[in-house]
Amino acid sequence: MSNPDSLVYGSNPLVSTMGALDVMARIADYLPAAKKPDRKPSLYERLFWTAMALIVYLVLANTPLYGIPIQPASQQQILLIQVIFASNRGTLMELGIGPIVTAGLIMQILVGAKLVDLDLTDPDDRKKFTSAQKTLAIILAVFEAAMYVLSCRYWVVTGPNPFTACTASWSTRLIVGLQIFAGAYIAILLDEMIQKGWGIGSGVSLFILSGVATIIFWNIFSPVVINGTAVGLIPYIIQAISTGSSLSSIMIRPGGRDLVGLIATIVVAVLVIYLSNMRVNIPITTPRLQSIKTRIPLQFLYVSNIPVLFVGILYADILVFASLFRTYGGGLIPQWLVNTLATYDQNGNLVGGIAYYLNSPLGVYSAYADPVKTVVYIVVLVLLSVVFGYMWVEVSGLNAAAQAQQLVDSGLEVPGMRRNPKVLEKMLDKYITPLTVLSSIIVGVIAALSDVLGVYGGGMGLLLAIGIVQQYYMLIAYERALEAYPLLKRIIGE
């Protein structure tokens, strides 16, 4: 009789997926990588290398690609992509951190759906996960760079087939493709360097924060004039006062960057900081010290800004691929499918398709001009936030089962309940599941309404930026405390 395992092996998706994961993890061992420091650098050394990584990123994000014509960017299409992927069109950071965050999203979904059997709390499995994610990010960088070149994104196409009707030579396209891939690979290495202990936080967070801060700064102070109108709010106010324009034109104007958006930015920032400091307390005790009772504080925004980040990655990926596929109408992809994904006018602006309804409005003026799109955008954003929020809680070990097991392992218990993980899980589930759904809805609604009101940096971008700033504040405060009180290192085992 044949071995049952041999009959299942070829058709079991878990086994085949794990095999591919092992191969990808091994490939990462042969790729150039950032070396882990022999000793833990001091706080100031880590701040220095974090600043160096940021400077390198900014240089790359402002270095134009060689061999392409300079084209004006359409803010409607690329604002979300620039925020989520920390990219800059026409530069070496064309892809930004897109391959990194997309690879991370795919890997998290595989683990969350149990298609990959990995325990992310185990150091070996975590290392395998990280190595495979790096390989997948590089594969995506190669694919996206090739798509940008093959779609003839930067050159004039004289016919329906970009392969034969592109005005650029294949040598020029190859050079541009290599530049785009090189920029993406450097971003991967910078993120890896920071996460391996040379810097603070992660490169992904650092670059997103940099992109959002740049957008907010230019939305307020940019002196650039387009079609006779200043881009920045302050120059625009000066221009409006000098020309005798009405107050309504300062409060609301097409494309956002108005006074309503500035006020909304401040209000949303204060609201998010307030909500992020709210806690839901669960009473606990320990059998060794029964007279001492304490509480486990759960964040009211239990999922933080993770659902918005995942939704932003999904939206940005759809926009990227819709933009790339649009030139294949007479080539590899049917025109009806291209139009279903995204429909563009003669100026290259989105006017229909899935990507159009997933693209955020730019302020009150744009939201009022197309109310159907605004409603669809808000509803879809909130629903996807709930889905991604629940998925993140399950994948990251924040669910009731994982938290109950941690309570039991640490010797803590809930008064009046047996030290049984299943019993604790049922009790914790009464708190964690509603918090997951409610916090996902709240961050989704805040992000959607922020886009409608035209907050600077976009709703998703502002939420991410606030969360990243808080994260860096806590990390730096933690490192400062360890350096000021060396005894704490022994207590926590560092």
| Cβ neighbours of residue 476 closer than 8 Å, sequence gap 6 or more | 43, 47, 200
Structure tokens at 189: 């290495």
Structure tokens at 159: 């016919």
Question: DSSP 3-state assignment of 285?
Answer: strand
For residue 166, what pLDDT band results from cuts at 50, 70 and 90? low
Domain range summary for the chain, segments of one domain joined by + = 38-218, 222-249, 252-494
155 vs 247, residue with greater confidence: 247
For residue 4, what pLDDT band results from cuts at 50, 70 and 90? very low
Average pLDDT value over all residues in the chain: 78
| Helix residue ranges, H only, 277-370 | 306-325, 335-341, 354-358, 364-369
Q: Please write the tens of the pLDDT for every residue from 286-308.
A: 555 555 566 777 888 888 888 88
Structure tokens at 391: 């998925």
What is the arithmetic mean of pLDDT over 416-429? Answer: 70
* Per-residue pLDDT at 403 exceeds 80: no
Buried b (16+ CB within 10 A) or exposed e, 56-70: ebbebbeeebebbee
Structure tokens at 227: 């079609």
Note the pLDDT of residue 62: 86
State how far the Cα of 391 lies from the Cα of 303, in Å rounded to an integer.
Answer: 10
Q: How far is CA 4 from CA 7, 8, 11, 155, 365, in A?
A: 5, 7, 12, 57, 64
Most confident of 93-102, 164-173, 259-268, 389-398: 259-268
Question: DSSP 3-state assignment of 8?
Answer: helix
CATH fold for the domain made of 252-494: Preprotein translocase SecY subunit (1.10.3370)
Note the pLDDT of residue 79: 60
* Per-residue pLDDT at 271 exceeds 70: yes
- Minimum mean pLDDT range among 63-67, 324-328, 337-341, 443-447: 324-328
State how far the Cα of 292 lies from the Cα of 288, in Å rounded to an integer.
Answer: 9
Note the pLDDT of residue 494: 60
For residue 49, what pLDDT band results from cuts at 50, 70 and 90? very high
Q: How far is CA 142 from CA 61, 138, 174, 389, in A?
A: 19, 6, 12, 30
Q: Do 38-218 and 252-494 fold alike per CATH?
A: yes
Q: Which of 388, 418, 387, 416 is nearest to 404 (CA)?
A: 418
* Per-residue pLDDT at 244 exceeds 90: no
* Per-residue pLDDT at 398 exceeds 50: yes
Strand partners, 225: 230
State how far the Cα of 313 lies from the Cα of 96, in Å rounded to an integer.
Answer: 12
Q: Please write the tens of the pLDDT for every residue from 92-122.
A: 888 888 888 888 878 877 776 677 777 776 7
For residue 362, what pLDDT band results from cuts at 50, 70 and 90? confident
**CATH code of the region 38-218:** 1.10.3370.10
For residue 73, what pLDDT band results from cuts at 50, 70 and 90? very low
Structure tokens at 19: 């095999």
